[in-house]
């Protein structure tokens, strides 16, 4: 059993008067994929956005409770958010490559984090990241073409390559396949399987089948509360909580 990389302890999130998360206690294991499921608006995206402090950009958002990565509290005011986001990468629902070349999409992060000093260092990072994201073979001859010219599935893998270019420890994925066709989805899922050897991954998904395929642990959220968390196999074969069962079997009223 892996160690917990990320621990949340009585985590509460408010958007103005509205409370979005209620006392969430959830451990995410190192080098494992954790899937978060639940109906829209249940708080799963809010939860993962706490892990890289993305909620900071929302003025009315207030977070209480703790989130620790490797035992270090990340809700600390003095924490350097830029370096946190270097350690915790994110991939979104809709592929969002920069309006730049494929090469620049990957090299941008390392450059601003001071990771690639020379052209050859950057070349090496670009190649390694694209290879890790299983995109290298498809784009190696057109690295100077715009990233936005790639297909949807390729764009999403480009975004994953961009996320791993700064060598993070955690990758957050917010419905990374919802805009992709089944083949592109399959490629991303295979990639997730490969990436979990190196990274701790959290994926928000609306596809139960995807959660079963890619994750080892699953958490079910409803109305801002973590209702049940456990081994993925157990959650989908025989969950303990009736609400979980109703949700995954499509019985939610």
Partner 1 sequence: MSNEHTVKSYEEELQFLVDSVIKMGSLTESQMVDSMDAIIKVDKDSIDKIIKSDDEINKFRSKIDTQIMTLLVKRAPMAIDLRETISSLKISQDLERIGDLSKSNAKKVKPLPLDLPEELLSNLKRLGELVIKQLNDVLDSYVNKNYDKAKEVWEKDEQVDDLTYIAMESVIDFLSKDKKNLDFSTHLIFATKNLERAGDHITNIAESICYLIKGEYLKGSRPKGKVIQE
Site track 155-194 with partner 1 (rule: CB under 8 A), x = hit:
----------------------------------------
Rounded least distance, CB 250 to partner 1, Å: 5
Q: Does 251 bind partner 1 (CB under 8 A)?
A: yes
Contact window for partner 1 (CB under 8 A) among 3-11, 95-103, 156-164, 242-250 = 242-250
Given the complex with partner 1, which of 8 and 244 has the nearer CB atom? Answer: 244
Q: Does 231 bind partner 1 (CB under 8 A)?
A: no
Measure the CA–CA gap between 187 and 110, rounded to whole angstroms: 25
Given the complex with partner 1, which of 36 and 51 has the nearer CB atom? Answer: 36
Q: Does 249 bind partner 1 (CB under 8 A)?
A: yes
Measure the CA–CA gap between 78 and 233, rounded to whole angstroms: 40
Q: Does 219 bind partner 1 (CB under 8 A)?
A: no
Rounded least distance, CB 129 to partner 1, Å: 34
Q: How far is CA 49 from CA 20, 24, 56, 196, in A?
A: 12, 13, 9, 20
Rounded least distance, CB 251 to partner 1, Å: 4
Contact window for partner 1 (CB under 8 A) among 8-16, 130-138, 184-192, 244-252 = 244-252
Taking only Cα atoms into account, the Rg of the chain, rounded to an integer number of angstroms, comes to: 18
DSSP class per residue in the chain? -PPEEEEEEEEEEEETTEEEEEEEEEEEETT-EEEEE-STTSSHHHHHHHHTTGGGGSTTEEEEEEEEETTEES--TTS-HHHHHHHEEEE-SS----SSBHHHHHHHHHHHTT---SHHHHHHHHHHHHHHTT-HHHHTT-TTSBGGGS-HHHHHHHHHHHHHTT--SEEEEESTTTTS-HHHHHHHHHHHHHHTTTSEEEEE-S-HHHHHHH-SEEEEEETTEEEEEEEHHHHHHS-SSHHHHHHHTT---
Rounded least distance, CB 34 to partner 1, Å: 18
Q: Does 95 bind partner 1 (CB under 8 A)?
A: no
The tokens of 119 are what?
């052209």
> Which member of 12, 208, 230, 232 binds partner 1 (CB under 8 A)?
208
Rounded least distance, CB 248 to partner 1, Å: 4
Contact window for partner 1 (CB under 8 A) among 21-29, 118-126, 131-139, 235-243 = 235-243
Measure the CA–CA gap between 49 and 157, rounded to whole angstroms: 20
> Which member of 103, 199, 220, 236 binds partner 1 (CB under 8 A)?
236
Contact window for partner 1 (CB under 8 A) among 7-15, 150-158, 192-200, 230-238 = 230-238
Count of residues that bind partner 1 according to CB under 8 A? 16
Interface ranges with partner 1 (CB under 8 A): 208-209, 236-239, 242, 244-246, 248-253
């Amino acid at each position: 059993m892996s160690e917990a990389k990320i621990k949340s302890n009585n985590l509460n999130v408010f958007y103005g008067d509205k409370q979005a998360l209620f006392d969430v206690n959830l451990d995410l294991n190192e080098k494992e994929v954790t899937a978060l499921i639940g109906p829209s608006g249940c708080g799963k995206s809010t939860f993962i956005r706490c892990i890289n402090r993305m909620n900071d950009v929302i003025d009315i958002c207030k977070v209480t409770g703790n989130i620790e990565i490797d035992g270090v509290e990340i809700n600390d005011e003095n924490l350097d958010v830029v370096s946190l986001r270097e350690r915790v990468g994110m991939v979104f629902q809709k592929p969002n490559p920069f309006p730049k070349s494929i090469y620049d999409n990957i090299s941008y992060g390392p450059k601003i984090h001071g990771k690639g000093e020379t052209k050859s260092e950057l070349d090496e990072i670009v190649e390694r990241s694209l290879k890790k994201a299983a995109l290298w073979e498809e784009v190696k001859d057109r690295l100077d073409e715009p990233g936005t010219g790639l297909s949807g599935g390729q764009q999403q893998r480009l975004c994953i390559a961009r996320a791993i270019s700064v060598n993070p420890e955690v990758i957050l994925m917010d419905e990374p396949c919802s805009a992709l066709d089944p083949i592109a989805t399959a490629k991303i899922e295979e990639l997730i399987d490969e990436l979990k050897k190196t990274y701790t991954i959290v994926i928000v998904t609306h596809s139960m089948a995807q959660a079963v395929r890619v994750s080892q642990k699953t958490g079910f959220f409803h109305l801002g509360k973590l209702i049940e968390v456990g081994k993925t196999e157990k959650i989908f074969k025989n969950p303990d909580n009736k609400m979980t069962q109703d949700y995954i079997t499509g019985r939610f009223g």
